[in-house]
Chain A
Amino acid sequence: MSALSEMSRLKKEPQAKKRKLTAAEKKEERVGYLFLAPWLVGLVLITIGPMAASLYLSFTDYNLLQPPEWTGLDNYTRMLEDTRLQNSLQVTFLYVFVSVPLQLIAALALALILDRGMRGLSFYRSVYYLPSLLGGSVAIAVLWRQIFGTSGLVNQVLALAGIEGKGWIADPSTALGTLMVLNVWTFGAPMVIFLAGLRQIPTMYYEAASVDGASKVRQFATITIPLLTPIIFFNLVLQIIGAFQSFTQAFVVSGGTGGPADSTMFFTLYLYQQGFGNFNMGYASAMAWLLLLIIAAFTFINFIASKWWVFYDD
C-alpha cells in the first residue's frame, strides 16, 4: 500500500556496487525474516486476530453481551445518515489540520533552540517536556478549567488588560480551540524525536560546509533540514495518525461527553461512546475501519509526497 511505492523505489537503487548471487539474496531473505521474527509472531498472534475480528464485527450487530449477528453493510449505510458522525468527522479534520502543523512547528523550533549552544539546555529540555508527562491524567481535567474556565487564568490575565473573557472551555465556539492549545502545548514527544534526529546528523557535513565558507543560515538550509527530513516525515506521519485517533484529551476535558453541544466530539470519542456507552460495538467497529481508511489514505499521500522532499542516505 502506502509503503509499496516507497519500497519499490528503494529496491531499484544501489545495486551496482556488488553483483549478488541468488544464494546471497536467499541468505539475506532468511536473515531478514529472522530479524523480523518477533514482529511476525506478534503480528500473527496478537495484532492480526483482533484486527480481523473488528473487521468482521463491523458487518454485524454486536452488543458485547450477546453473540454478533451478521447484518451485512447495515453499519456502513447507517454511517451515511448519521449526522453526529459527520459532525465528529468535521471536528476531527479541523483538529488535525490546525493542531498538527502548529505542534510540529513548535516542536521543531524548540528542538533547534534547545539542541545546543548554551549552558543549562538540558534543564530547559526537561522543563519543556513536563506538560507531556502528564498525558491523559485526570489532573488535566481540573487543570484545564483552572486555565480556560470562566474564572480561570486566561481570563484573569485578560482582566488585567481590561478585556472581559468568557468560559472558553464551555463555549461551543471555543472549546475545540482549547483542546488544540492543549495538543500544541504537549509538543514534548515530537520535540524529543527532533532532538534525537538533530544529533544524528554527522558533524562532518558541517565541517566540510564551514571549510567551504557556507554561512550558518545556508548550512541550516542545505544540511540540517535535508538531513532531518526522514525525522520530519516520521513526525508528520505519526502525528497525523495520532491526531486522527485523538481521544484522551477530549475525553478527560469534556468529562467523556464531547460537549459542549458536540463541539469536541472527536471521531474516536463518538466511536467509544457507540461501542461502550451504547453497546453498539458492531457500529463502532465499522467506524474504526472508516477511520483506518481515512488515515491510510493520508499516510499514502504522505508517502507519495515524501519522494519529493525526504532525503534518505541509502
Chain B
Amino acid sequence: MRKFSRPLRAVTAASMALVLGASLAACGGASGESQSTGEANLRWSWWGSDPRHAVNQEIIEDYTAANEGITIEGEFSDFSGYWDKLATMTAGRDAPDVITMDEKFLQEYASRGALADLTELENLDLSKFDDAALDLGKFEDGLYGLSTGRNALTVVINADLFEEAGVEIPDDTTWTWDDYYRISKEISENLDGVSGSDYGNSPDGSLRVWLRQHGESLYNDTSDGVGYTPETAEAFFEHLLKVRDEAGGATPSEWTEAQAGTFEGQSFPTNKTAMSWYWSNQLGLLRTSTDSDVRMLRAPSHTGNEADNGMYYKASMYWSISSQSENKDAAADFVNYLANNEEAAKKMLVDRGVPVNPDMAAAVRPELDEAAQSVVDFLEEIEPNVALSPSPSPAGGGGVQDIILRYDSEVLFGNLTPAQAAEQMTTEIEALIGAA
C-alpha cells in the first residue's frame, strides 16, 4: 500500500513514456504498406445525419458484396463531434483508414503527416479528374484529399417573396452591388417582417468572394499569411454596414441569432429574408424548408461583368486515406469505387457536391430531382468565369471561419470600426496560421 504515496514523479514518468511512445510512433509514417487488397478490415468515417448514414451503409454493402475478404466499418457522428473524435483517434494512432475530410482541416492533417499521398496509391484512378479539381486537395506536391464534388457560394433568392414585394429578379450576369443594395432595400420596404438580405451564412466564403473581386485572396500563395490588403478587408466590413444601414438588411442580432443556430432555424429558410448567401448544394433543402421557389443567382460584381464576380468552386468534402492505415491499398481501392463507380455515384447523388468526374456527373444527372438538376446546370454555367479556385486553408486555419464571423459581429454591433476590425482580424489570422 505504501507505493501509492510515493512522489508523483514515477507515475508522471510512466505516463509520459506511454504518451510519448505512442506519439513518437507516429513519426514512423508509412509503415506496414503494400498489403494485397485481398483481405482487409477497413474503417470509414464521415459526418452527417441519418439519410447520409443510410446511403453510406448501402454503399458499404454493395462494395463488400463485390469484394470478398473486405469488410468496412462505417463510423459517423455530427460535424463538431467528428473532428474531436478524429483528432483524438489520430493522436492515439487509431485513425480510420478512409477519412472524410473538410477544406478547413485538410492541410492541417496533411502537413502533419497524418494523411497518405493519394498519387502514390496505384489502386486509385485519378485520370478522370482535371487539374483544377485535384488542386483543391493539394498540399505542397502531394494529393491528400480527393474532392467528393464541388459547390459554389451563391446568392439565393426567394422568388415568391420577390413577387410579393413586386421586385423584379435581376439579370445576374450583369448585376452590381448597387443593384443588390437597391433590391434588398425595396423588399425590406415593401414587405412587413421580411428583410431584403442579410450578411451571408458562410463568413469566410462571403469574404473570399469579395476579396477575389478585387484580385486578392484570403491566404497568400505560400499559405503562410493573408493574401489581401487591409483596405479591401476594410471595404468588406463597410459593405456589411451598408447592407445594415442602407439596404434594409436584417438586424445584427437577428442574423447572429440565426448564425449560431441550426440550419433550419436561420432567417432565410424561415422566409424572413428574401436574399442571402448559401452553398449550392443547399438549394434543395432551402426549397423544402421555405416551401417557396428558391433560386440561385451569381454573385453581384462591382463592374457589372460576370467575369468579375469572384465566384469559385469549393470541394464539398474530400476522401482522404490515413497515413496510419495498414491497408492503404485496400483503402485506395475503396476510394476509387467512391470516386469512379457509377453505382456509388448514383447512391450519393449530389449530397456531397456535384461529382467532379464528368462521367459520374452525367450518370447522376437523370436521377436527380429538379432542384438538384438546376444546381448541376448552374455550376456548369458559371464554369467559364470561375478562375482558379483557392487552395485548402493552411494548417492552423481551422479557426479562421470563427474569427471572421466574430469580426463581422463586432462591426455589425458597432463595437469596432471597419478599419479596426480589418487590422485586428488580419493580425489574428496571421498569428493563427503562422503559429501552426
Contact = CB atoms under 8 A, between A and B. Distances in A.
Any A–B CB pair closer than 8 Å? yes
Interface of A: 30, 33, 40, 43-44, 48-50, 52-53, 55-57, 63-68, 141-142, 145, 149-150, 166-167, 169-172, 253-257, 259-262, 273, 276-281
Interface stretch (B116-124, B172-180, B284-292, B405-413): B405-413
Contact of A259 (B18, B113, B260): B260
Contact of B256 (A53, A55, A167): A167
A54 B118 CA distance: 34
B19 to A, nearest CB: 5
B265 interface: yes
Given A55-B12, A68-B20, A261 B436 contact: no
Interface of B: 1, 4, 8, 11-12, 14-16, 18-20, 23-24, 26-27, 80, 83-84, 87-88, 90-91, 108-109, 112-114, 251-257, 259-262, 265, 395-396, 398-399, 402, 405-406, 409-410, 413, 415, 432, 435-436
Nearest to B398: A277
Contacts of B19: 53, 56-57
A255 B26 contact: no
19 contacts: A40-B4, A49-B18, A50-B15, A56-B19, A66-B23, A66-B26, A67-B26, A141-B261, A150-B254, A167-B253, A167-B254, A167-B257, A169-B257, A170-B252, A170-B254, A255-B259, A261-B415, A273-B399, A276-B83
Q: Please name the 3 residue pairs, one residue from A and one from B, whose CB atoms are nearest each other, closest first.
A: A49-B15, A167-B253, A65-B112
A65 B113 CA distance: 8
A52 B265 contact: no
Majority secondary structure, B binding face: helix
Contacts of B436: 63, 278-279
Majority secondary structure, A binding face: loop
A170 B18 contact: no
Contacts of B413: 171-172, 260-261
Contacts of B399: 273, 277-278
For A66, A169, A260, which residue has the most chain B Cβ atoms within 10 angstroms?
A260
B432 A278 contact: yes
Contact of A150 (B88, B257, B262): B257
B24 A64 contact: no
Contacts of A68: 20, 23
A200 to B, nearest CB: 31
B254 A261 contact: no
Contacts of B396: 278-279
Contacts of B24: 67
Contact of A167 (B11, B14, B251): B251
B112 A273 contact: no
Contacts of A166: 253
A204 to B, nearest CB: 39
